[in-house]
Structure 1
């Protein structure tokens, strides 16, 4: 022992000597650094003086550069770095200061836009408003006669046209704005002359407005300006309504609109003004819709007229669309798909409405749907045979064929067949779209998925309603469940294909469906079995109906114990499903998104079982004890031991939570949260089990005496475990549990406990507190080390 101490003293003396040497060495290093810094400053000063002498000896004609403008070398602690800085400064040439440029600034683009483009449009708008206000003022004050007002209005409009045409050679854009404004004035004046003053009949007013429209189209072509064509277009569609006087001549109206459409669409195709196509499309279908919903009350007499012009408008717009794609070889865009979809389904929708409201037309609904598919099929064949367009247009038209065949299914068929065909078609379209790299087919498959799901939900609603016991129904082997299996297979196949052949550049919709389709697969799988279990117990409940006679009369009675059993088995099934999902993903799939979803679902199921599930189990126990309606129904021990079946499945659920939370991709510290969840579940189930056996034993102190002692003992165990394993959170949890127990003791237990019970509770909890305090004092060194 003495030898060791001597060795330690020798080592300490050596260490002290070395530290003193290190201190002397640091002092010497600092002195050397100071000398180097002095030399650096001297060298920099000498460099500056030499530079000043050099510049003073040069001729005066050269620009003088102040020494303050020189780049002074940076004083650093590194001599090599300092030398590099000096060399760079010496090699850098010194240029004379440059004079600032005095060239005038150009006009900005905003100024050009306002001066040359915006002001003239505002000016013509204000001019038109001024004409309208002046006309209104003259009318209200009778300053001039109606004929004079109209003549002056026409003169203003014609004068603007003439002035605009004169300026066309030098100021084409400005001239186009004047002509378009004059055109608007002429429309307004003609309407006022006809409607307000009745200066000429309808036919003349119609001819004048038609002439204005023709002039507007010709001017638009001559000026090559869409704005004039748009004004003429709006005026052309407004003419019939401005001059109609509710005459109700629908044939003339639609014939006129058809002629206008043909002319304007021809112009839009010639000049490639697609905006005209969009505007005419919108106005035409709005006018037709207004007439159909608000004017065509007599569907039987208007059937031929309405259907004829419906087909005419559809054909005009469809041919124009194909012309843009085939002749102009236009690139396919999303807006084009939306437009052609609208055109096709507006035609189909109104056609179905006409047939549905026509007497005997319902039998032709399927034929009309197939006719729509045939139209698009013919177009598809023509495009394919002659190779007239790119593959996108071919796939789009063929997609319409599939769509209308799809729609024909529910029109002619009903029930589960619709769901089966739609689910199969969704899987087929998705397979073609993904393997052949045709995005449009994928999008169609997404629509079919949604339709199939809606149809399946309707099948569930119809197939799983509460039946009478006389109805023939077989669990699992029934049409509704087999339909669900087909949909599950289709969604499962699409999910598998998504992960097997991922898209190289997925769109936003594809990324969304990458989540939605697996969700539909799992959701359909879960609900299909869930509804089967629920329907089995519902039928059992209905079969339990009996008629009871009393003094009042007969009334039906049911075995409500079955309702509680149904709820328990549905919770057990949910635990089994979530457990299987979590473990399969954990050991096989290893998908991060599915892992997160299964973990959240497991936690929600855990909460459901600990709250609703244990409460229903207590209701089953009460049913067993009370034996209500026992003379009619057998309520046996099954009500008791089903709780232990549920406990076993709940243990598997906790195991699944533990295994899922362990995965590295979740990036969570799962140990502490899981252990807290485990102890909460244990004390919750132990409390329920204690109440269960005390209730079976006939004790009326269940919620007071037993729970308080149980919670105190469990708190003691948590304290001991927390000290042993050095886990502070367990000790804190125990203190919280004991605090709840004491609050319960003073504010709830002692109010109804007798003296003996109070003594037992207080003594028990007091002893437990003393034991806990003893453990804290005895193992305080362990707790102190844990804190450090």
Structure 2
């Protein structure tokens, strides 16, 4: 078996050498063609072949880009991933090859170990030798095959990292400090090679290895100060290279790894020492984000996003530590960060033209100050910070027009809702919370305030007419108003939770009606769309039916059983104010009646409200106890209710004829039919003789009067139509 492997290896080497000779001959021919092209620049065919034969690994820094195109790309904020896909397409074989080679070396070493060919020290030596050899191959290929050489070198660095890890964890060949020193040395060498080769790909490999090295050699006993001293050194080196080479990817890789490590330390072992590293990381990554601002006087979308994230991640970490360790004041870091951004805003303010940078610094400063005051009142940290950060992202999107911030806003706002729901759950077990000034409601207040600001920022503009935008805006508006509604309702219910259930329900219904009514009242200023306005009206009228049938009836029953005074009923009756105002002012100015079903819903509200309130008053005036209440309600249903329905049906029929709104007439006749059916098939069998006579006489009179009015109005309408036709004919003649 071993002989076959050696033979196969020799064949591969011979084949590679032969192929390499052919490639060199081809390169000589290409060089000859290029020389001929330089003498004959007008030959388009040679020029085309030259372009086609350029090496795939050519350094992209030599490609010239039109600055106007870059500006257009920045304005449109389209995240173009085609260069990444192109890189993967062109270098997929190289990446797969180096990965396969590393695995092959690993399997060979494992096979040698299983056969007891080599000892533990030799195993580690083979790993270090293989890694160094691969790096050497990458070094010799760097001039003509830059990208390929970077991938090869990155694979060699990976072999060195894994060899060090295995030598420490599995074979215990050296101590943790020695292993850490080796990984540090590998990281420094790889960073130096990245800078020397001018290869961003290689430094990405180096950063991944540098940040994963502590996990590779970890012994389970966390020495966090030492770990973050090491990470800070890496971040400083990253910052220097980022400024020298303008490589943005390395800053984001370092930021993500650093944030994960810091949060893990903060949660696993809350220590005041972590605050110092939060501050150091804040300074490093803030300088990284402001690199283009200081050098080119502009902020790219990634720079703005970094500014937002580093501010709020640092706030979450430092405030959490202060709260856990009970240090004061918790607002010191939000205010310090706000002061820094305020200084940048002050430097930008004297300029006559206030651009994107001014908006970004002002938005971050205001957001940090808002977060500071909210946290001072003991609001929940995550919910508060996320809510303010979401609003800041929306503000940035409105100012810059960069869609990436809109996407992040919708993602973060979804997380805000989840965090807020978890905050509301605390009402269940909370005891003796102060009215308004309690952590749960104060946190909800921050969410409510930021949500209201979001609604203002998302007002429709002339540019946003697409159906997709309208859908998202309507959906977001519904969610936002629902968040505000639930936050206020839960606070009210918590403080009346000791009251009877019917009192809680009726109070919730009254609040719900007034909440929708206030939105409808200010619908123009809030720029509520037609669809949302119609939905609110439907919700308002549906709640009115529930309020009259369930809340009102339950409240009357509770009042009679417990001998409660009329005050509760008067409070319950306050719903009539928004009801009447909606009928008189809001409905005539809305598009509610564009749907035929709207007439029937409105008629159902009128019939239910009039019937139930007449029943409530009748019961309150004459009932002394629960037994009398049941008898009076049955008597009212049999005698008075048909009369009320007949009067309302006549009114609807008259309304339909007068306004040409045929749905009123249809509903009137339907209600009249229900009244007659109820009278003949149910009521007469329950009434005594006197009640039956009274009901039939009164109902008969009402029906006759209604018929008379109907016929008279019909004749009037017919006469008016005939006169109009005659007048039109005369004008024609």
State whether TM-score is above 0.5. Answer: yes
2:183 is matched with 209
Coordinate RMSD, CA, aligned? 6.5
Tell me, in whole angstroms, the C-alpha distance in 1 between the residues paired with 2:602 and 2:471.
37
2:154 is matched with 180
Q: Which of 630, 636, 661 is the matching residue for 1:702?
A: 636
- In the TM superposition, 1:51-450 aligns within 5 A as 116-246=90-220, 248-294=222-268, 296=269, 299=271, 303=272, 305-327=273-295, 329=296, 331-358=298-325, 362-378=327-343, 392-393=356-357, 396-397=360-361, 399-410=363-374
1:85 is matched with none
1:549 is matched with none
Distance change (3 Å), C-alpha of 1:755 and 1:523: same
Distance change (3 Å), C-alpha of 1:504 and 1:742: closer
The alpha-carbon deviation at position 234 of structure 1 amounts to 1.6
Gaps of 5+ in 1: 1-102, 416-424, 467-479, 543-557
1:612 is matched with 547
Tell me, in whole angstroms, the C-alpha distance in 1 between the residues paired with 2:600 and 2:551.
25
The alpha-carbon deviation at position 170 of structure 1 amounts to 3.3
The alpha-carbon deviation at position 205 of structure 1 amounts to 3.5
Tell me, in whole angstroms, the C-alpha distance in 1 between the residues paired with 2:480 and 2:126.
70
Query: Structure 1-normalised TM-score?
Result: 0.56
Q: Is the 8 A contact 2:157 2:186 kept in 1?
A: yes
1:733 is matched with 667
Distance change (3 Å), C-alpha of 1:734 and 1:281: closer
Q: Is the 8 A contact 2:548 2:613 kept in 1?
A: no
1:90 is matched with none
SS of 1:362 mapped into structure 2: coil
Query: Structure 2-normalised TM-score?
Result: 0.60
Tell me, in whole angstroms, the C-alpha distance in 2 between the residues paired with 1:604 and 1:344.
41
2:584 is matched with 655
In the TM superposition, what whole-angstrom CA distance separates every residue of 1:420-456 from its partner, at most 9, and x where no partner exists?
Answer: xxxxx99xx9xx999x98999x99xx99xx99xx9xx
Q: Is the 8 A contact 1:332 1:392 kept in 2?
A: yes
The alpha-carbon deviation at position 279 of structure 1 amounts to 1.0
Tell me, in whole angstroms, the C-alpha distance in 1 between the residues paired with 2:574 and 2:277.
69
Distance change (3 Å), C-alpha of 1:217 and 1:618: closer
Distance change (3 Å), C-alpha of 1:596 and 1:117: closer
Distance change (3 Å), C-alpha of 1:196 and 1:746: farther
SS of 1:123 mapped into structure 2: helix
The one of the two structures with greater contact order (alpha-carbon pairs below 8 A, sep at least 6) is 2
Tell me, in whole angstroms, the C-alpha distance in 2 between the residues paired with 1:326 and 1:223.
27
Tell me, in whole angstroms, the C-alpha distance in 2 between the residues paired with 1:713 and 1:125.
87
Distance change (3 Å), C-alpha of 1:255 and 1:727: closer
Distance change (3 Å), C-alpha of 1:292 and 1:138: farther
The alpha-carbon deviation at position 518 of structure 1 amounts to 13
Q: Is the 8 A contact 2:176 2:217 kept in 1?
A: yes
Tell me, in whole angstroms, the C-alpha distance in 2 between the residues paired with 1:439 and 1:616.
48
Q: Is the 8 A contact 1:582 1:660 kept in 2?
A: no
Q: Is the 8 A contact 2:154 2:205 kept in 1?
A: yes
SS of 1:365 mapped into structure 2: coil
Larger mean CA deviation between 148-157 and 109-118 belongs to 109-118
SS of 2:95 mapped into structure 1: helix
Tell me, in whole angstroms, the C-alpha distance in 1 between the residues paired with 2:86 and 2:648.
84
Q: Is the 8 A contact 2:485 2:515 kept in 1?
A: no
Distance change (3 Å), C-alpha of 1:140 and 1:596: same
Larger mean CA deviation between 334-343 and 389-398 belongs to 389-398
Q: Is the 8 A contact 1:575 1:605 kept in 2?
A: yes
How many residues get paired?
Answer: 589
The alpha-carbon deviation at position 411 of structure 1 amounts to 5.6
Distance change (3 Å), C-alpha of 1:673 and 1:660: farther
Q: Is the 8 A contact 2:338 2:369 kept in 1?
A: yes
The alpha-carbon deviation at position 124 of structure 1 amounts to 0.9
In the TM superposition, what whole-angstrom CA distance separates every residue of 1:319-375 from its partner, at most 9, and x where no partner exists?
Answer: 333334313x264133222212332333343333444444xx633434555444444
The alpha-carbon deviation at position 314 of structure 1 amounts to 2.6
Tell me, in whole angstroms, the C-alpha distance in 1 between the residues paired with 2:554 and 2:685.
26
Q: Is the 8 A contact 1:599 1:657 kept in 2?
A: no
Q: Is the 8 A contact 1:377 1:397 kept in 2?
A: yes
In the TM superposition, what whole-angstrom CA distance separates every residue of 1:643-692 from its partner, at most 9, and x where no partner exists?
Answer: 9997687444322244223xxxx49647x667655654554455446646
In the TM superposition, what whole-angstrom CA distance separates every residue of 1:252-280 from its partner, at most 9, and x where no partner exists?
Answer: 33332222222232122211111111111
Distance change (3 Å), C-alpha of 1:656 and 1:335: same
Tell me, in whole angstroms, the C-alpha distance in 2 between the residues paired with 1:644 and 1:369.
48
Q: Is the 8 A contact 1:582 1:595 kept in 2?
A: no
Tell me, in whole angstroms, the C-alpha distance in 1 between the residues paired with 2:172 and 2:514.
83
Distance change (3 Å), C-alpha of 1:121 and 1:669: closer
Tell me, in whole angstroms, the C-alpha distance in 2 between the residues paired with 1:216 and 1:523.
51
Q: Is the 8 A contact 1:491 1:518 kept in 2?
A: no
Tell me, in whole angstroms, the C-alpha distance in 2 between the residues paired with 1:728 and 1:316.
73
Gaps of 5+ in 2: 1-47, 57-81, 380-387, 428-432, 623-630, 722-733
Tell me, in whole angstroms, the C-alpha distance in 2 between the residues paired with 1:577 and 1:112.
55
The alpha-carbon deviation at position 122 of structure 1 amounts to 1.0
Q: Is the 8 A contact 2:549 2:608 kept in 1?
A: no
